[in-house]
Amino acid sequence: MSRAAQSSAPRPLGPPAARFRTQIDAAIVDGVNISDMTLRLTLTDLTKLKRDATVPLADISFTGGVMRYLGVKVEQGGVTESVLDRGAA
């Protein structure tokens, strides 16, 4: 099978800030507490989020060595695809 014929997982569309804002908002509507969520980002998405000039300064915070986006704890690296972990169900 040629490389062109091999299928690969589709890449998420849009910047991580917009993608995860939508997911965080949906989780809140579903009744998930912000403190239960963890945003697990690839290093690439973390860099994009930090450098996104459209993200208001108030949306990202660094307190006690922990980064938060919209109040959700951010863990960096260790994943092959960025994901919002909603916590225990």
> Distance between CA 19 and CA 17 in Å, rounded?
6
71 φ/ψ sector (left φ>0, alpha ψ -120 to 50, else beta): left
How is residue 76 written in tokens? 């960096």
Secondary structure class of 74 (helix, strand, coil): strand
- What residue ranges do the domains of the chain occupy? 16-85
Residues 6+ apart with CB under 8 A from 78: 40
- The partner residues of 72 in beta bridges, in order of sequence, read 69
pLDDT tens digit at each of 89 positions of the chain: 444 444 455 555 678 999 999 999 999 999 999 999 999 999 999 999 999 999 999 999 999 999 999 999 999 989 999 999 999 75
**pTM as predicted:** 0.82
